[in-house]
Structure 1
Amino acid sequence: MTTTAGTGGRSRNLVLAAMIFAVSMTFIDQTIVSIAVPDIQRELGLSNTGVQWAVNAYLLTLAAFFAYGGRLADTAGHRKVVVIGVLVFASASLLCGLTPKGGVAQAWIVIFRAVQGVGGAMMFPAALGIVVQTFALRERGRALALFFGIAGGLTAIGPILGGYLTEWTWRAIFWVNIPVAVVALVLISLSEPVTEHRPARMDYRGLALIAAGVTLSVFGFQQAEIWGWRNPGIGLTIAAGVLLLAAFVLVELRTGEPLMQVRIFRIRAFRTENAVLGIAMLTFIPVFFFISEYAQISLGKTASEAGEYLLCFFVGFVIASQIGGRMLDRDGAKRPVVLGCALSAVGFALWAARVTDLDFSDQVWTVVLAGAGMGMMLTPASTDAVNRASRLSYGEATGITQTVRNYAASLGLAVLGTISVTVFRSRLRQSLIDRGVPAPRAADQARHLAQANSTAQSGGSAIPSFVRGDFAEATRTVLSCMAGVMALAAVVAFLGLQPGLQPEPAEAEGERPEPTTR
């Protein structure tokens, strides 16, 4: 495949900058909204389920449409799809910020958060495909370390900026995407990235199956908190989603021009790295949601101070991402991926051990360590997965990895959310009993307190001390689960990945139609 890797460094760096600005919006929206959740819920009067969907709808549509976005980029042109994705994302952001109060508020914000996800699912695989085609194989680790690291750095600004914007109005956390989108479009126009695409028909049958399968399965896990695990609807919903995903795989294997080349999972390294990414993403996105709540409820921080708490995670992430990228170019993916997962597991475990002390200063270095491990792992695993699949289209391969990542993130948020609420209510019930409340009434009061404090004014002093402590206990359980998840990811990476550098891939001639360069 002919790429633009031979172009000058200045031109390539401009392309890289353009793509970083484009995808930074998707990174920012994975964290900035979690800062404003209490304010959004309180002002719009959202239910607990509604506010969870305001967060999860974005992740769900990202997961459901990433394969579509990657395939569309490879068939319609990467630059065109990036531009369309930026415009869709920015427009949806504007409308999220314009959510009216009243009965329509919940449906409005959930719908346009979902549209944001569609825009992000279009732009991200196309942008990453452009970067991969622009840089040669031995330079991609460093280039994508900058791609993910700088985007992560911009994301780190998101929680802090989101905190200050929320103190003015939570609506501004969506409007901040507009100037970022403008900069991205200007840089795309100036850099004029050149990539290849192969016109082909779109597999809408596959798209319908994967979108429905992802939505139903994650919906079942999320509703378990509301309906209860004994409700037969939970099992039926999850089972229906899994069956649709299984049907998707079978259909794709029999489709001439599939939405997703599922046979790519026969490549051991690609299969292993997607398994590692899927396991790790059970924690990576959910951690921002839970820790933002912990900082505001247990530590009594304001929204902006909660953003500074999350910044510590990204300090470690950005620095270690650069180290991981260089290790990938020098030694291959196994060492940074295994080491990164292990470091993150240790960081989460140590963080969990200190979180109930309610002392932020004592937790800082554990937060940095957890973020560093995640950064060291994420860039090499994502980059090497796409490199291994280079005989296929880069956008399509990126769409696959991003589908796995965001589906796992949605599941992680749903499952860990259920664990958090269950532990929180249980601790509250026991605390109330210890304070003389009869056991039958304690359960009802615990449920009421759990809901009331999820919408408490950030940084307020009205939250009782025992509630702060009980929420910290719930957070400790969640962080302990995250430590276990990352330890599992380290084991999978150690057993599944081979040491050493990847050889330069040979392109398989005649497998696909001649590419079109644009």
Structure 2
Amino acid sequence: MPSATTDRSAPPTRDPAAAPPRGARANPWLTLIAVAFGLFMVGLDGSVVSIANPEIGRDLGASTSDLQWVTNSYLLALAAALILGGKLGDRFGRRTFYLIGVAGFTAASVAIGLTGSIEGVIAFRAVQGFFGALLMPNTLGMLRAVFPPRKFGMAVGIWAMVSSVSTALGPIVGGLLVQHVDWESVFYINAPIGVLALVFSVLVLPQTRNRAAADEKFDIVGVVLLAVGLLAVVFGVVKGESWGWTSGGTLGAIAAGVVIVLVFGWYETRVASPLLPMRLFRNRALTIGTFVTALNFFVLLGVIFFVMLYLQSVRGFTPVEAGVRTLPLSLASVVASPLGAALTGRFGPRLTMPLGMALQAVACFVMLSWGADSSYATMWPPFIALGLGVGMVMSSSSDAIVGNAPVKDGGVAGGLQATALQIGGALGTSVLVSLISSRVGSTLTGELTAAGVPAAAAAGLNEARDAVAMGVAPVSDDMPAQLRSAVVEGSHQAFMNGVHTSVLVAGALCVIGALVAVIGVRRTSEQPAA
């Protein structure tokens, strides 16, 4: 079977018309620093918006549906264009499209703060997602092209650390900015980061590309099929919570997307210059790495979403206080990413992928002990286990995907990895929140009654199950103190029932991911073809 190790078969490929890189452009570590700026900006923006949404809604008079689209428009544009962004970089220059992505993402961020309407915010979030799709895959594509194989694993470890930390820091940074400045500052912060990234990148990044691709016919049909298929799948997933997972709209959108993606895969095997070469999936480590990457962010973003609800709505912490309490997760991922890269370099992803998944499973199962009034001593251990697991899987699965792709397909492989990451994150947030909502709906009346709420009042409060699924107890100032206390107790217990169901499912999926990695990934001496 194909190898689980990295490709050592070809040197970096650059534009033949360009002079060989000299000085700063010849230093791969400066390339890593340059792409880290852009990666940090996109990762931070992906999670910081959840904190800003309530203020956006109040300031712009946005509905709950509008706020969902603030997130969903970004996710849809990002997921639809990631592989295209990697392909464009491979063909026309990864440095070029990375710089275009940084510039566009920065400009769209400033436009969001200036627009003054919820429609403008939604539109420019989609623009952000598109330029993020040009930026992200070319970060890994450039690293694949400039680092020698023996150092590529460590570079990916640092890349994974930046990605994990920026995502985990989002709630803290967002909380500080929203609480002490305004919601617009959540987007304006990208301006100085983006300008710094542009200036530094122009000075140090070498141009790399797939020289053979210049004479190839561009796969327009593949671009359209993949974009439409991924749009339909992600749209169905993000609307599943509000439409219902068994509704005709949800099932129809997801089914249509899956069929179109399958048609895309069939079509790609029949064109001379495919957008996504299906031969990449002959490598078992790459295929499993793609699956585990999706599962990794399914757990990370899904768990972070309801943990922030728990800390703020149930425990009553401010956004900043809640963010600070998740710092162990960020710090653990800082340690785990380079550690995972080092272990992957020595033992291969067959060790580190299942180990990371096992740590995440442990974190989820420990969360089963959480209650509405649990002490922080019960919270930080699973945060550390989750951070260690996420960081280790990020570095090992990225190495398995991009490291097993030929150098010429580095951008496409980076796009594949980023697409798996985004779809996994969208699925995690939607599915785990949907599980919480379903469990709250089935247990709320019983928990309210058990807490001392009269049966008639408990039945009436069942209509507030959507609020309870977000951790909010449906109380009012005119309620008697005893009734108010009972409603809070019963509502929070119903929410915790939902959390327990979600972490049980997430933990079981992590166990499955660990088993797939152990059974499916082999370490051999074969190398992928260039």
TM-score computed with the length of structure 1 as normaliser? 0.88
Asked if the contact 1:132–1:394 (Cα under 8 Å) also holds between the matched residues in 2, the reply is yes
Shift of 1:447: 4.1
Residue 110 of structure 1 is matched in structure 2 by 122
Q: Deviations over 1:353-380 (max 9, x none)?
A: 2254432232112111111011111101
Q: Does 1:278 align with 2:307?
A: no
Residue 478 of structure 2 is matched in structure 1 by none
Shift of 1:188: 0.6
Residue 400 of structure 2 is matched in structure 1 by 384
- Match among 454, 478, 500 for residue 436 of structure 1: 454
Q: 1:402 to 1:150 in 2, by over 3 A?
A: closer
Residue 190 of structure 1 is matched in structure 2 by 203
- Match among 377, 400, 412 for residue 396 of structure 1: 412
Residue 45 of structure 2 is matched in structure 1 by 29
Q: Does 1:166 align with 2:178?
A: yes
SS at match of 1:388: coil
Q: 1:252 to 1:473 in 2, by over 3 A?
A: same
Q: Deviations over 1:173-202 (max 9, x none)?
A: 111111111111111122132323332443
* Counterparts of 1:151 and 1:272, CA distance in 2: 20
Q: Does 1:303 align with 2:322?
A: no
* Counterparts of 1:123 and 1:445, CA distance in 2: 42
How do 1:427-466 and structure 2 match up within 5 A? 427-434=443-450, 435-438=453-456, 441-447=460-466, 453=472, 464-466=488-490
Once the two structures are overlaid, the 10-residue window that deviates more, 3-12 or 281-290, is: 3-12
Q: 1:451 to 1:344 in 2, by over 3 A?
A: closer
Q: Deviations over 1:144-193 (max 9, x none)?
A: 11122134334444322211101121221111111111111111122132
Residue 371 of structure 1 is matched in structure 2 by 387
SS at match of 1:194: coil
Asked if the contact 1:279–1:489 (Cα under 8 Å) also holds between the matched residues in 2, the reply is yes
Shift of 1:45: 3.5
- Match among 64, 67, 76 for residue 48 of structure 1: 64
Shift of 1:94: 1.4
* Counterparts of 2:302 and 2:324, CA distance in 1: 17
Shift of 1:481: 2.0
* Counterparts of 2:263 and 2:97, CA distance in 1: 28
Q: Deviations over 1:452-476 (max 9, x none)?
A: 93999xxxx9993443443333223
Q: Does 1:496 align with 2:520?
A: yes
Q: Deviations over 1:200-221 (max 9, x none)?
A: 4432322222222222223223
How do 1:207-286 and structure 2 match up within 5 A? 207-286=223-302
- Match among 75, 97, 112 for residue 96 of structure 1: 112
* Counterparts of 1:49 and 1:484, CA distance in 2: 31
Q: Deviations over 1:367-424 (max 9, x none)?
A: 1111101111110111122121126511011112222222222222222221122223
- Match among 477, 482, 488 for residue 501 of structure 2: 477
SS at match of 2:406: coil
* Counterparts of 1:455 and 1:219, CA distance in 2: 30
Asked if the contact 1:66–1:403 (Cα under 8 Å) also holds between the matched residues in 2, the reply is yes
Asked if the contact 1:299–1:468 (Cα under 8 Å) also holds between the matched residues in 2, the reply is no
Which runs of 5 or more structure 2 residues have no equivalent in the other structure? 1-9, 14-19, 476-483
Q: Does 1:125 align with 2:141?
A: no
* Counterparts of 2:170 and 2:241, CA distance in 1: 29
Q: Does 1:205 align with 2:221?
A: yes
Q: 1:94 to 1:465 in 2, by over 3 A?
A: farther
Residue 13 of structure 1 is matched in structure 2 by 29
Q: Does 1:87 align with 2:112?
A: no
Asked if the contact 1:144–1:325 (Cα under 8 Å) also holds between the matched residues in 2, the reply is yes
Q: Which amino acid aligns with 1:141?
A: G
* Structure 1 vs Structure 2 CA RMSD: 2.7
Once the two structures are overlaid, the 10-residue window that deviates more, 379-388 or 66-75, is: 379-388
Q: Deviations over 1:120-164 (max 9, x none)?
A: 111111121111211111111111111221343344443222111
Residue 2 of structure 1 is matched in structure 2 by 11
Once the two structures are overlaid, the 10-residue window that deviates more, 333-342 or 478-487, is: 478-487
Q: Deviations over 1:332-373 (max 9, x none)?
A: 221111111111111121123225443223211211111101
Which runs of 5 or more structure 1 residues have no equivalent in the other structure? 508-518
Once the two structures are overlaid, the 10-residue window that deviates more, 445-454 or 345-354, is: 445-454
Q: 1:346 to 1:8 in 2, by over 3 A?
A: farther
Residue 138 of structure 1 is matched in structure 2 by 150
Asked if the contact 1:60–1:410 (Cα under 8 Å) also holds between the matched residues in 2, the reply is no
* Counterparts of 2:340 and 2:21, CA distance in 1: 24
Asked if the contact 1:15–1:191 (Cα under 8 Å) also holds between the matched residues in 2, the reply is yes
Asked if the contact 2:141–2:410 (Cα under 8 Å) also holds between the matched residues in 1, the reply is yes
Number of residue pairs matched?
498
Residue 515 of structure 1 is matched in structure 2 by none
* Counterparts of 2:116 and 2:248, CA distance in 1: 35
* Counterparts of 2:242 and 2:288, CA distance in 1: 35
How do 1:65-84 and structure 2 match up within 5 A? 65-84=81-100
TM-score computed with the length of structure 2 as normaliser? 0.87
How do 1:284-299 and structure 2 match up within 5 A? 284-299=300-315
* Counterparts of 1:228 and 1:505, CA distance in 2: 43
Shift of 1:72: 0.5
SS at match of 1:170: coil
Asked if the contact 1:252–1:260 (Cα under 8 Å) also holds between the matched residues in 2, the reply is yes
User: Percent same amino acid among aligned pairs?
Assistant: 32
